[in-house]
Amino acid sequence: MTAAAGGGSSPGDHPESEHRSARTGRPVRTALTGGTLLWADGRLAPGTVVFANGVIQTIAAGEVPAGTDPTDAVRVDIVHDVTGRIVAPGFIDTHVHGGLGANFMAADAAAGTRISRWLAAGGVTACLATTASVEADRLHRTLAGLAALRGRLAGGLGIDLLGIHVEGPFLAPSHHGVHRQEHLRLPSAEAVDALLEAGDGAVQVVTLAPELPDGMDTVARLADAGVHPSLGHSGASFQQAKAAIGRGLDRATHLFNALPPIHHRAPGPVPALLTDPRVRCELIGDGVHVGPEMLRFAVDVAGWERLMLVSDGCDVAGLPPGRQQRWDGTEVEVTETASRTLDGTVAGSITRLGDALRTVVRDGGIALSDALRMASTVPAESLGLADRGRLTPGRMADIVVLDAELRVHTTYVRGEIVFDREEMGTTG
């Protein structure tokens, strides 16, 4: 990366977007030029993106962008040459538990810093902190701690923590995955209200099994509170899934995983979720949780517009291969591609959205422009966020720059560099 005027910034430097020109007093404008942009209409075409004060000012097809205001042509102060690279909206991971040995269950600044560092190196600019099934008091303490961490992690120099994804404890024991069965419990109005109160407005998504007693009423209660109910770790039938959608359920948690398989006489929840336009579905694109044929199948059925890539990344992601211990004491075997319990059960993912992008394009045959939007646009829209997820003027300058092999080169959050491979190494 080069800076043609004024030099570039590095993590820890004062943000370029906060500098002001000594001559004009206006915010310094930075341009990424020479690259291939993911335009808002899905085209991958040459262009320049200009940002200042953490916000995209304009994008244009040429190297010298026209101003957004015809009376004030954009004057660029700093130019980063990204020739041969792809410039896309920053990735938004709405289902991630941790990384580099840290788990969001710790709900403290140190864990947030480590996880931010790991995710930023994978092109992630924002995320939902995802919890696990624990006893009620501990869950409430965790939710309160995570609510206090909302905003920029890593002391204001990392990725954005948008809120919380509560995964459990209202899960089906028959589909618990690596959630501990002793911590699962039935939903109730009182339990939901206590959970939302502890989360202090930060809870965005709650994964639950709607077929449990009072599950349908819980779906409606969450939806009425402005929270997104998500079907997951569930044994729901096709009919029960449709009923839950009718009560306000609008998401599916890691589609295919911890759900009944599709059967021609007992279709289960997956066909209901994939075919209903009211639902957006998570997909873990690590190549382990879902086969490439099923990734392609999901896109063919639902279209990229209703599918979002998630990592389901766990705390042992980024740690060396071999025997490791998860946050709850569970021992797992980490390989180059997966984390599994000692009995062979897949225990979360060890990849990030940048890794998933390469996998779904290479192995799943998904078009690059679609995969990029599944990692950025769809997650933003699933949370009702209009300020990120596309490269358009007025949105946050959350940007990822990829090389020709689709490896993350640089990650910007609000116009600030939070990861640069040449300066920080491949894992941040």
Amino acid making up residue 97: H
> Is the CATH number 1.20.1050.140 carried by domain 91-382?
no
pLDDT over 90 percentage in the chain: 82
Q: What is the pLDDT of residue 178?
A: 83
- The ranges of the chain annotated as CATH 3.20.20.140 are 91-382
pLDDT grade, residue 128 (50/70/90)?
very high
For 354-362, what is the mean pLDDT? 96
pLDDT grade, residue 21 (50/70/90)?
low
Name residues whose C-beta falls within 8 Å of residue 182's C-beta, 6 or more positions apart in sequence: none
> Which of 14-18, 99-103, 222-226 is predicted with the least confidence, judged by mean pLDDT?
14-18
Fold of 16-88+390-424: Urease, subunit C; domain 1 (2.30.40)
pTM of the entire structure? 0.92
Would the pLDDT of 63 be above 90?
no
CB atoms within 10 A of CB 372: 26
CB atoms within 10 A of CB 2: 10
Q: What is the DSSP string of 255-312?
A: TTTTSPPP-SSS--HHHHHHH-TT-EEEEE-SSSSS-HHHHHHHHHHH-GGGEEEE--
Distances 425 to 16, 300, 408 between C-alpha atoms, Å: 21, 37, 11
Report the catalytic residues: 312
- The ranges of the chain annotated as CATH 2.30.40.10 are 16-88+390-424
pLDDT over 70 percentage in the chain: 90
Residue 384 backbone dihedrals phi, psi, to 5 degrees: 75, 25
Amino acid making up residue 185: R
